[in-house]
Structure 1
Amino acid sequence: MRSLLVLFLFCTPVRAGEVNSDALKRLVHQDCGSCHGLTLKGGLGPDLRMETLAHYDREGLASVILNGVPGTPMPPWEPLMSDDEALWIAQYLLTGESE
């Protein structure tokens, strides 16, 4: 399933330096939700709601997304997404909004 979502994410045309916010929202709720729960309240992975992520800043959370968490099921997403996309996802998780 991840490969289909990633394929959709990267086959959707966007201009350089832009992110496809609709595709990234789907990625968060479907692909991340497969481990973190469809409502992002936790599952195999921890709760991803704003109140539980408040100790992160945007860059720190983007780093977790890109690099994964060694010794846990959280994979590194760096091979599959750009820094800008990881920053967008971090912002979305921390505030519920995109920039």
Structure 2
Amino acid sequence: MKPIAVWGLLVLIPLNLLAAEPAPARQQELIHLLKQDCGSCHGLTLKGGLGPALLPNDLQAKPVDFLAATILDGRPGSAMPPWRGMVNEDEARWLVQRLREGIR
């Protein structure tokens, strides 16, 4: 395969997949945040409560950047608080990917 063709294929990779992955210990902290803090409003099984469901089928149609921005900046006029300061942009995208995959 020619080098130009390889670079052409790389352009097809969504930029959100290139985000840095948190260290394993931080991943555990983020999963705990999802289960405890997010679960307090979205339901402990993330099927919804005060906030909407965060299950894979509920999130697939929503853009990653929109969901990450919601995590970071909250939703003005709603009970959704901003988490910027607790998580950075890469971590917010990582959380969205875990939610889309279904966390365990």
Aligned residues: 81
Q: TM-score, normalised by structure 1?
A: 0.75
The gaps in structure 2 that reach 5 residues or longer are 1-19
Cα pair 1:41 1:49 within 8 Å, conserved: yes
Indicate the residue corresponding to 1:81 in structure 2. 87
Give the root-mean-square deviation of aligned CA atoms: 1.4
What is the aligned-residue identity percentage? 49
Structure having the higher Rg: 2
1:56 equivalent in alignment to 2:56: no
Indicate the residue corresponding to 2:29 in structure 1. 23
Greater relative CO, 1 or 2 (CA 8 Å, sep 6+): 2
Greater share of helix: 2
In structure 1, how many angstroms separate the alpha carbons of the residues matched to 2:77 and 2:83? 15
Task: Could you list the structure 1 runs, at least 4 aligned residues long, displaced by more than 3 angstroms after superposition.
Answer: none
Cα pair 1:58 1:94 within 8 Å, conserved: no
Indicate the residue corresponding to 1:92 in structure 2. 98
Q: TM-score, normalised by structure 2?
A: 0.71
In structure 1, how many angstroms separate the alpha carbons of the residues matched to 2:63 and 2:97? 9
